[in-house]
Structure 1
Amino acid sequence: MARTRGSVGAETEKAIRKAAVELIAKHGFEAMTLRDLAEHVGLQPGSIYRYIATKDQLLVDIMAEHMETLIAAWRAADRPDADPRLRLEGFVDFHIRYHFQRQKEVVIANLELRSLTPDARRACVGLRKTYEGELRGILEAGITQGFFSPTDSGIATNAIISMLTGVCFWYSPKGKLSADDIIAIHKRLVLGGLSGTPRGEAKIIPLAAGRN
């Protein structure tokens, strides 16, 4: 059945997508029913199909949109002609800030791959690899130009992405450290791990401060 069009339909579809993100992040995809979703946005259960094709397709759309928007936002923020060290600092800053603002989407993107069909999973994994390729290109440029120590760029990419994304699972704006403090720490960890000589004099945070 075709989706409802027009401004009202578009707003309803947006509300459904937002509610789905909330419910999936909180309860998990398998636990969320379309009846729950319809009730959350004030629709009759049968009316939900005017705005979405299937529950499975809704998850695919949410995950694909998250990755496509992430890739586009990074490419807009990146400075391809800059020193690889500056680009890497920029990537760390961008990745953490972007994901801090979308913690629920991060949970879904990382935990609900298991809920996708094989074809949908391959498509979403492909988008992830595209984004990871952006970081890998920075690392390889830095290694080639002598800014970073020789290392396996694939392993380094996976390690950095895992570390940066992992922050989003425990970060709270009410924590002891500010977003800027956390980003500064991760810049030192990433650049120091690759070269031992991170740029600048980032603010030193005592280890006793612990996690955020």
Structure 2
Amino acid sequence: MARTQGSHSGITGPRIREAALQLFAQHGYAAVSMRQIAKEVGVQAGALYNYTPDKQSLLFRLMESHMRELLAAWGDLVVEGDAAVQLEAFVKFHIRFHMQRPDEVFIAYMELRNLNEENFAGIEVLRRSYEDALEQILKDGVASGCFRIPDTKIATLAVIAMLNGVMTWYRSGGRLSLEEVEGVYWEMVRNAVGA
């Protein structure tokens, strides 16, 4: 089958991922067909299989890419100071990073149920790596007497759940700036860990 006129692998592949991201976020993974993705990109449905074996692989790649970008961005951030300084940096980083990627965040959390067992396990490894980074900050804070937390794993999950909530309600141009929201959330997290 000939390539659709104007189609180019360096352009079409990213366009397919972007279209899938938007459609999955808007309608949900289960409601989107490969044919809809192809239509959005402007290629024939069969052409998609030159870029991805199936819809499941496409979903996995979107989630994996998001998690790898998240881990790399956190890994690149250099924060010096005690556990409280580290935790404040994590809180503000998490909010800022995720606010710039609402569709990726929605898919990363809401579409986990649609991954097959193998792909789910791969994403869970990446999610645990990110959670472990936060839990290590909390453990260090407990060890130094900076935080009072009875269970660092539960606290880790609670903090991430709290921070993820920002993406559901915050709107630019609202009553508070993003910096002010970050400050409020830092105060809530600080109080939650007994700092």
**Normalising by the residue count of structure 1, what TM-score does the alignment of the two structures yield?**
0.86
Question: What are the within-5 Å matches in structure 2 for residues 158-173 of structure 1?
Answer: 158-173=157-172
Q: CA deviation at 1:167?
A: 1.1
Q: CA deviation at 1:46?
A: 1.3
Give the partner amino acid of 2:193: L
Q: CA deviation at 1:150?
A: 3.8
Contact 1:139 1:148 in 2 (8 A): yes
Structure 1 unaligned residues grouped into runs of 5+: 1-6, 197-212
Give the partner amino acid of 2:89: G
Cα distance in 2, alignment partners of residues 185 and 44 from structure 1: 49
Contact 1:74 1:94 in 2 (8 A): yes
Question: What are the within-5 Å matches in structure 2 for residues 176-191 of structure 1?
Answer: 176-191=175-190
Cα distance in 2, alignment partners of residues 178 and 47 from structure 1: 44
Contact 2:84 2:141 in 1 (8 A): yes
Contact 1:34 1:55 in 2 (8 A): yes
> Partner of 1:200 in structure 2?
none
Cα distance in 2, alignment partners of residues 151 and 78 from structure 1: 28
Question: What are the within-5 Å matches in structure 2 for residues 29-178 of structure 1?
Answer: 29-79=29-79, 81-178=80-177
Greater alpha carbon shift after TM alignment, 184-193 vs 173-182: 173-182
Give the partner amino acid of 2:115: L
Q: CA deviation at 1:173?
A: 1.1
Residue aligned with 1:109, SS: helix
Structure with a larger share of its residues in helix = 2
Q: CA deviation at 1:16?
A: 0.8
Contact 1:25 1:107 in 2 (8 A): yes
Cα distance in 2, alignment partners of residues 62 and 188 from structure 1: 33
Residue aligned with 1:162, SS: helix
> Partner of 1:18 in structure 2?
18
Give the partner amino acid of 2:67: M
**Normalising by the residue count of structure 2, what TM-score does the alignment of the two structures yield?**
0.93
State the aligned residue count: 189
Contact 2:149 2:194 in 1 (8 A): no
Question: Considering only aligned residues, what root-mean-square deviation do their CA atoms show, in Å?
Answer: 1.3
Cα distance in 2, alignment partners of residues 177 and 15 from structure 1: 34
Q: CA deviation at 1:78?
A: 3.9
Q: CA deviation at 1:45?
A: 1.3
Structure 2 unaligned residues grouped into runs of 5+: 1-6
Report the identity percentage: 40
Deviations 1:8-41 (A, max 9, x none): 3122111111111100000000111111101101
Deviations 1:56-77 (A, max 9, x none): 1000100111111101110111
Greater alpha carbon shift after TM alignment, 144-153 vs 23-32: 144-153
Contact 2:149 2:155 in 1 (8 A): no
The answer to which structure, 1 or 2, has the higher relative contact order (CA under 8 A, 6+ apart) is 2
Contact 1:107 1:169 in 2 (8 A): no
Cα distance in 2, alignment partners of residues 175 and 125 from structure 1: 34
Cα distance 1:152–1:37, how it changes in 2: closer, same or farther (>3 A)?
same
